[in-house]
Amino acid sequence: MQYDTIRFDITDDIAVVEMNRPDVMNALNTQMRAEITDAVQRGGREARVVVITGTGRAFCSGQDLGDRANAANLDLERTLRDEYVPMLRAVVDCPVPTISAVNGTAAGAGANLALLADVVIAAESASFIQAFTRIGLIPDAGGTWALPRQMGLAKAMGAALFADKITARQADAWGMIWEAVPDAEFDSHWRGRAAHLATGPTAAYERVKRVMRGAFENDLDAQLALEARLQGECGKTRDFKEGVVAFLEKRPAQYEGR
């Protein structure tokens, strides 16, 4: 697929998906959703970590409502089912770790796209806004799934009802995201985090994603059984053998990836 609304690059096993419609604060239209879906899936096949970020002053402002005529007649159910769900599933189901590097405003569906990544790193000047009720809607794009799990029902309910801006520092303190970092360090920091994951035990990371997400659906016995099964799989990998040998030899492990 040719990309017109995003930039895509793979360097040193790090796939970077950069939303590139800065004139509309990287608002999501049909083409961009399809391109993000394709790029994330490609990154999951060809790289060892996928990073989603934005160009300009925004991460993503959510659904593109710039065309008022089309926005008013938008079939929201169809759009969510046919265009958003594939994009969001690509992020959640990606076999390698995903990072949202939130460089600026993340609003509406843009905020929830960010929050579905495995790790969310935000610049301190960034913010998250569940803007939906401002135009008579409910949170979508996975927000009703992610928010209660990440910040608890009380904070999630307030965020959805009031549609207040949540600063990156608040999001960090409330458990919405992994960390907020100073703007001057943001780019080098997320790249360093991505590099760490890109040289790590990819097979274990894939199972970490599965077991952590499974915890919300399983009771204790089911989760313990899942842990045991996936740990057994990890114990048969080259990465585990290398990790043990490197530990005993007191040297950094050299993981091969997939």
> Is the pLDDT at 71 greater than 70, yes or no?
no
Query: Which of 6, 84, 106, 5 minimizes the C-alpha distance to 50?
Result: 6
Our CA dihedral for 26, 105, 84, 78, rounded to 10 degrees, sits at -90
> For residues 195 and 58, what is the distance between their CA atoms, to the nearest angstrom?
24
- Same CATH fold assignment for domains 6-198 and 202-249: no
> Is the pLDDT at 203 greater than 90, yes or no?
yes
Span 134-148, pLDDT tens digits: 999 999 999 999 999
Contacts of 134 (CB under 8 A, 6+ apart): 163
Percent of the chain with pLDDT over 70: 97
> Is the pLDDT at 68 greater than 70, yes or no?
no
Question: What SS3 state is found at 67?
Answer: coil
> Is the pLDDT at 48 greater than 80, yes or no?
yes
> Is the pLDDT at 93 greater than 90, yes or no?
yes
- What pairs with residue 105 in β-bridges? 58, 127
> For residues 202 and 255, what is the distance between their CA atoms, to the nearest angstrom?
8
pLDDT at 196: 96
pLDDT at 74: 75
Amino acid sitting at position 111: A
pTM score over 0.85: yes
Beta-strand relationship, 58-60 and 105-107: parallel
> Which CA distances in Å does 73 have to 33, 82, 137, 141, 242?
19, 16, 14, 19, 57
> Which CA distances in Å does 164 have to 21, 59, 135, 171, 183?
24, 17, 13, 12, 22
Span 147-167, pLDDT tens digits: 999 999 999 999 999 999 999
pLDDT band at 21 (very low <50, low <70, confident <90, very high): very high
Query: Which of 185, 167, 184, 187 minimizes the C-alpha distance to 176?
Result: 167
Mean residue pLDDT across the chain: 94
> Is the pLDDT at 72 greater than 70, yes or no?
no
pLDDT band at 70 (very low <50, low <70, confident <90, very high): low
* DSSP class of 63: B
CATH 3.90.226.10 holds for 6-198: yes
Angle among Cα 93, 37, 206 to the nearest 5 degrees reads: 25
DSSP 26-41: T-B-HHHHHHHHHHHH
pLDDT at 122: 98
CATH number, domain 202-249: 1.10.12
Sign for the CA dihedral angle at 9, 126, 170, 156 comes to negative
pLDDT at 65: 85
Query: Which of 169, 138, 168, 181 minimizes the C-alpha distance to 156?
Result: 138
> Is the pLDDT at 258 greater than 90, yes or no?
no
Domain boundaries, the chain: 6-198, 202-249
pLDDT at 75: 86
pLDDT at 1: 84
Interval 39-50 mean pLDDT: 97
Interval 115-126 mean pLDDT: 98
